[in-house]
Amino acid sequence: MKKIYGNKYLIDTFDKMNINGKTAHALILYGERGSGKKLIADYYTSALLCERTQNGKPCGECNSCRNAESHVHPDVTYVKTDGKLEGYSVKTAREIISDAFIKPNNSSGRKIYIFRDCRNMSVQTQNMLLKLIEEPPDYAYFIFTAESKYEFLATIISRCICLGVSLCTAQEAEISLAESGYNETEIKKAVSCFHGNIGKCIEYISDEKIRSQIDLTKRIADSIIKGNEYELNVTFYSVGSERNELYSVFSIIDNLVRDCAVLIQDKNAENIGCFRDSALALADIMSSYQAIQIHNKIEEAWKAIQANVNASLAVTCLCAEIMQIRSKKF
C-alpha cells in the first residue's frame, strides 16, 4: 500500500472511526490540487473494505485492499464526470441514486462512491445527492474531493464530515519522491518549485508540458518585474485559451504575488510559490497593497473566464491591470 506522508491527524481519525465502528458515511476531503486527497480517499476506502484490519488500519494485502488500491473493486464506484466543464450531471446523480439501493456483493457488505475533483457542481445535482446522503442505505459511503469545501452547498457540508488535507513538508516530499524512484536532480528541481505538494512535484517531473508552463510563468514574472507590458502580453498570450492551462498559470502567478506580499513583511519567510527569487525582486519594487490588488485582479480574470468571457480578452485586460498596479505608488 502506498505510504502517505503528512496528514497523520487524518489517518488517525480514520483508524479511530474504524476501531469504534463509527465510520463516516459522507466525507468531504478538501485541499490544494496535488496534496494527496485521492490517495487519502483510497486509504479510507481500503479501511472500509479490508478483510482483516489491524488497529483500524487496512492490511494492504487482502484481495479487497489490493482491488481498492488498483481501483478495480466491484463495489467502489469512481463516479464519472461529463460535459464541457467536467462536472457531475443530474443524470449521473440519478444513476448513482438507483445504484446505491442495490445491495453490495462483497464480504464487507459495503459500497463506496467517490466523487473526485468536485468543481462547479450544479445546485440541482447537489440537491439530488443531498437526499441520498441524508438517509443513505447502511452499507453506502460517499467520498467527495475538492479544492475547497465551499464548492458544496451548506446543506451538503452540514451532512458530511469535512476534513482538510494538508501538504507535507519539503523534506517528506523529497523522501516520498526518492521512494518512487525519481532521480535526485529531478527531485531537487521539483521540490524547489512545488515544495511539499507531492502531486505537483510528480507532474513537474513526468510532464514536459508542465515544465514548459513553469518556464512560461517565470517569463511572465520577469516581465512584471521589468515592467515590460509588451513582453507580458506576448508571453501570457502564448499560454493559449485552454482553461486548465490558464488556471495553472493563474495559480502560479497568484502564489508569486502572495509570496511577494509575505516577503515584504519578512525577507526570511517561507515561500509557497515556484519562484522565490522573483518574489523577492517583486517585493523590492511593490507594496503589499499592490500585491493584494494584483491578486484580486487575477481572481476577477479567472471568474470572467469561467463565466465564458473570451479568454484572450480577459488575459489582455489582466496584463494591462497588472502593469497599471505595478507602476503606481501606493
Binding site for Zn ion (CB under 5 A): 50, 58-59, 62, 65
SS3 54: strand
Cα–Cα distance measured from residue 2 to residue 36, given in angstroms and rounded to the nearest whole number: 11
Q: Which is nearer to Zn ion, 52 or 91 (CB)?
A: 52
Cα–Cα distance measured from residue 37 to residue 116, given in angstroms and rounded to the nearest whole number: 9
Per the CB < 8 A criterion, the answer to whether 141 and 48 are in contact is yes
Q: Where are the alpha helices (DSSP H) in 266-287?
A: 276-285
Beta bridge partners of 30: 146, 164
Min dist CB 48 to Zn ion, Å, is 10
Min dist CB 199 to Zn ion, Å, is 25
Min dist CB 106 to Zn ion, Å, is 12
Q: Which is nearer to Zn ion, 106 or 288 (CB)?
A: 106
Min dist CB 23 to Zn ion, Å, is 15
The values of phi and psi at residue 220, to 5°, are -60, -45
Q: Where are the beta strands (DSSP E) in 23-110?
A: 26-30, 76-78
Per the CB < 8 A criterion, the answer to whether 325 and 293 are in contact is yes
SS3 164: strand
Min dist CB 73 to Zn ion, Å, is 11
Min dist CB 45 to Zn ion, Å, is 11
Q: Which is nearer to Zn ion, 73 or 258 (CB)?
A: 73
Report the candidate in 267, 268, 270, 259 with the shortest Cα–Cα distance to residue 294: 259
**CA-only gyration radius of the chain, Å:** 22
Amino acid at 202: I
Min dist CB 56 to Zn ion, Å, is 12
Q: Which is nearer to Zn ion, 67 or 228 (CB)?
A: 67
Per the CB < 8 A criterion, the answer to whether 46 and 65 are in contact is yes
Sheet with strand 26-30: strands edge to edge: 76-78, 111-115, 140-146, 26-30, 161-164
Q: Which is nearer to Zn ion, 108 or 288 (CB)?
A: 108
Q: Which is nearer to Zn ion, 51 or 222 (CB)?
A: 51
Q: Which is nearer to Zn ion, 50 or 319 (CB)?
A: 50
